[in-house]
Amino acid sequence: MAAFGAADDSFSCQQRHPQYWNAINKFCAKGDIVVPTNYSEQGKGVNAHRAFITGNCNPKQWVPSDELWDEQLSEVDSVV
């Protein structure tokens, strides 16, 4: 059931905010995201839409950018 919900969130995000969805996918395409780093803080964008993560973890923390990661960012859209 969770897989269907995640797919719905991603589809909803893609339909409602295609530029954000593209930015999220571009950002998540990097497989070794670590926070904090220049990459995580600058993020990736499409036009004026940007996906990024800020944080002050010490030591730096790895963020898995797999399917779950994409699903979590897509879920943010349903809250916004």
Dihedral Cα 49, 69, 75, 17, nearest 10 deg: 30
Which CA distances in Å does 79 have to 34, 53, 65, 75? 25, 17, 21, 7
Confidence tier at 2 by pLDDT (50, 70, 90): very low
- Residue 60 inside a domain? The answer is yes
| Residue-number span of the structural domain to which 58 is assigned | 2-71
53 DSSP 8-state letter: -
Confidence tier at 1 by pLDDT (50, 70, 90): very low
- Residue 78 inside a domain? The answer is no
> Structural domain tally of the chain?
1
- Residue 44 inside a domain? The answer is yes
Q: Which amino acid is at 26?
A: K
pLDDT of 66 reads 65
pLDDT of 41 reads 92
- Residue 19 inside a domain? The answer is yes
For residue 74, count CB atoms less than 10 angstroms from its CB and return exposed for 0-12, middle for 13-18, buried for 19 or more. Answer: buried
pLDDT digits (tens, 9 = 90+) for 5-63: 455 667 777 888 888 888 888 888 887 889 999 998 999 988 888 888 888 989 999 88
- Residue 30 inside a domain? The answer is yes
**Total-model pTM:** 0.69
